[in-house]
Amino acid sequence: MILIYIPARGGSKGIPLKNLAELNGKPLLYYTLSIAKAIEQELGDEVMIFVSSDDEKILEYCYKQGVQTEYKRPDPLSGDHSTIIDGLKDALTWLELNKSVNPDQILLLQATSPIRSVNHVLDMIKEFKSKELSSSFSVIPMRQHPNECIQMNENNWEYLQKPILGNQRQSYKDIFFFIDGSYYLITREFLLEHSCFIQPYISKPFILNDKNAIDVDEPEDLLLAEAILKSREH
């Protein structure tokens, strides 16, 4: 079984109660719940939707959307320094003790990534199972060319990727990607062994052709996400 894990704590520095912030007439969390329910509709009993939140308003909204919310994230796991991994491990313990559920895989869907396609995630799950992967994550082509990105320290800077004399700019378009945060899929064993979602040389990138992925963190991100959503309505 795949656990669709949706972390949605109440606290947020950039946008107050960010997960319920309005985006194109609906709460931000709506878009992730909709994708999760679409996956559930396709895969049925193979998946279980699980929202982890410490906030009563968020839990009430999820309940009204038809998602069970018996679990409430403990306060020590809900602060600014709390990690998704810590929250996930607590959720897995709760599921085992209260529901006798031990999922084989965990699909992380963060509410801050509202621009998704159900076909993308279904293809990712299919590849994950057929290739017997233990960890996979979504990536998109980099917008900024690495030759034009720099890393700074106190006294100096250096290129992220040192330009090679005579190399054409387009020669990098198929090898540099950005981890967009839309999807992370891991096995339970991978989580217990590594306590993370990605490990170099183990995790497999899943390439998305969609360059419009966005991570909502500040108010201007909501405006950009709304513009993208409106453009897709036409």
Provide the residue ranges of all domains of the chain, joining segments of one domain with +.
2-143+174-228
Q: 2-143+174-228 sits in which CATH class?
A: alpha beta
Q: What is the pLDDT of residues 127-177, one digit of tens each?
A: 999 999 999 999 998 888 888 889 998 889 998 887 766 555 556 667 889
How far apart, in Å, do the first and last CA atoms of the chain sit?
36
Q: Quick check: 101 and 46 in contact, CB under 8 A? A: no
To 5 degrees, how large is the angle CA 149–CA 150–CA 156? 165
- Taking 70 as the pLDDT cut, the residues of the chain under it are 164-173, 234
Taking the whole predicted model, whether its pTM rises above 0.85 is answered as yes
